Every structure is written in C-alpha cells, then in structure tokens.
Structure 1
Amino acid sequence: MLETSPPEIFDCQTCGACCAYQADWPRFSLESEAQLAAIPAKFVAADESGMKFENGRCAALTGELGKHVGCGVYAVRPQVCRDCMPGDPECRMARKALGFAVDDLPEPEAWWT
C-alpha cells in the first residue's frame, strides 16, 4: 500500500478532512509500544487512546482544511492514518461530514493498479 497520495491520483494535502472528522478518530489500535512512544506526547490525547483533537481537528494537522494541510507527525503517524486512502469509505465519510466534494475522488482501486 502506498504511504502517500500521489497528486496524479488525489492530493491529500489539499484536503485534511480525515484529520478533522471527529474527536474520537483516529484511535490507536494496531500500534506497538515503540510506535506509540515515537509520537510526541503533545499530540497524544490525555487518555492516550488516540491523537489529541483540538479546535475541531487532530493536533498534529497543520495548515488550512480544504486548501493546504500537512501532518506534523507524518513519519510516525498512527496506523489508522496510514490506512486511510483517497476515495475509501472513511475518506468519503469525512469529506461529506465537512461538506467537501466526493465526486473528484478516485476509486480505491486506483491505489492498487
């Protein structure tokens, strides 16, 4: 599976919806203790269940939603963040919730062809 979104498929850095969907997502679930330790504590929720959610978005998200965003912990981001791909059900759900278009999203199969 690809680690990043190739712009010719879809440029995730112009979106950010998955990082601003809701306070209880993303949750930690598949990470090892070493992987969790690599995420700076200032970005981890107080109960250590997932990423900290501040001001309607993941605390590690930088930039402006729908324009240009980035991840402050990209190299050590949680597995759920690595698994979210443009056009997949989670991506579409987050974009719809924030009022972003879903018509221009690739079909998830674009990632594996």
Structure 2
Amino acid sequence: MDDFNPCLDCCICCTHFRISFYWAEADDAPGGFVPAEMTEKLNHNLRCMKGSNQVPRRCSALTGEVGRGVACSIYANRPTPCREFPVYFEDGTPNPKCDELRATIGLPPLPQSPLPRAA
C-alpha cells in the first residue's frame, strides 16, 4: 500500500478542471518551469494548460487512458494548481472531490491513507 498512487489509474481531475496559473510559471519567463508550448494565455496575468480551457477538457500534458493507466508528461514541471490539489488531506483522509470525480468514471472511493501525508 505504501506505493499506492491513485493518480496513476485516474487523472479525472486533468479532464475536469481548467488548470490556470500565474503566467511566470511558464518556462518562457525567467525561472519558469511549465513548458510554455503546452499553455495558452488567458489574460495579462494568467495562463492555463492547453486543453483545459474548453469542454470537453483534457490537459495537454495528460497521457494514457483516464481510469486505466495515465501519467502527466510534465509531472516534475507541472503548474502550481496540480502540485497543490490534495488527493489526501494532512490527516490521511481522502479528498471527497477526488472520490466524487472518480465515481463518474466507475472507480471506487480512495482508501484511507495508511500514514498522514506531509503538506
């Protein structure tokens, strides 16, 4: 259970939310890290991941089949909203939004985390 990563068989959040973030997170800004070619401009201050700004949504960094075997092709360079979305809360309880979204694709609720996650 220690190696359990629910995101590796789900990633429904990558097809549900618009993934918007401060423009300077993109790698065409000094110190940015998100591949700029995978983003689109929303306004003067914000960008979003391509594919997440229209319905149906699917983040341009998402690879694989949702609900079966998926990955983020830029995981180490993913934007802040992706880094901060909690699958588990600090006390180890699953995020109810994850369970709600997982149910829409027929996946079971997340189990209680065996150990509380660090923030």
Query: Would you call these one fold, judging by a TM-score over 0.5?
Result: yes
Structure 1 vs Structure 2: percent identity of aligned residues?
28
Structure number with higher strand proportion: 2
CA distance in 2, matches of 1:53, 1:106: 32
Q: 1:111 aligns with which of 100, 110, 117?
A: 117
Which gives a bigger RCO, structure 1 or 2 (Cα 8 Å, sep 6+)?
Answer: 1
Structure 2 unpaired stretches of 5+? 28-32, 88-93
TM (normalized to structure 2)?
0.64
More moved, 77-86 vs 41-50: 41-50
CA contact (8 A) 1:28 1:80 kept: yes
Q: Deviations over 1:15-62 (max 9, x none)?
A: 11111113x2x2115xx72x3222222210243521111663101000
TM (normalized to structure 1)?
0.67
Matched residue, 2:6? 11
Matched residue, 2:49? 51
Structure 1 unpaired stretches of 5+? 1-5
Shift in CA distance, 95/50, structure 1 to aligned 2, threshold 3 Å: same
Instruction: Indicate the SS of the match to 2:63.
Output: strand
Aligned residues: 100
Structure number with higher helix proportion: 1
Specify the structure having the higher radius of gyration (Cα).
2
Q: 1:41 aligns with which of 22, 36, 40?
A: 36
